[in-house]
Amino acid sequence: MLKIRLRRGGATHSPFYRIVVSDSLKTPGASVVEQIGHYHPGKNPAEMKIDRQRVDFWVSKGAQLSPTVKSILKKTQPAQPPAQP
């Protein structure tokens, strides 16, 4: 099964994460199927870039989101316009 999760990079005390699609049975540092974004929490505000189309594609193929990636995706969702009466 595939999983969309974070892969850590960067120096000590300065983390940088890549959002990747990888096999859930392998470690997060193992080879990846595709890199679909990045997350840099050290910047103020935190820098996030995610290819939503690729996330939707992989989820439609059965990939699972990790809890952290789910919360990052919620933060990056565009605001919904108010409903028209």
pTM of the predicted protein model: 0.81
User: Structural domain of residue 20, as residue ranges?
Assistant: 2-68
pLDDT in tens, 31-64: 888 999 999 988 888 888 999 999 999 999 999 9
Number of domains in the chain: 1
Is residue 60 assigned to a domain? yes
Is residue 76 assigned to a domain? no
Is residue 74 assigned to a domain? no
Is residue 80 assigned to a domain? no
Is residue 73 assigned to a domain? no
Percentage of residues of the chain with pLDDT beyond 90: 40
CATH number, domain containing residue 48: 3.30.1320.10
Is residue 83 assigned to a domain? no
Query: Given pLDDT bands bounded at 50, 70 and 90, which one contains residue 78?
Result: low
* HEC letters along the chain: CEEEEEEEEEECCEEEEEEEEEECCCCCCCCCCEEEEEEECCCCCCEEEECHHHHHHHHHCCCEECHHHHHHHHHHCCCCCCCCC
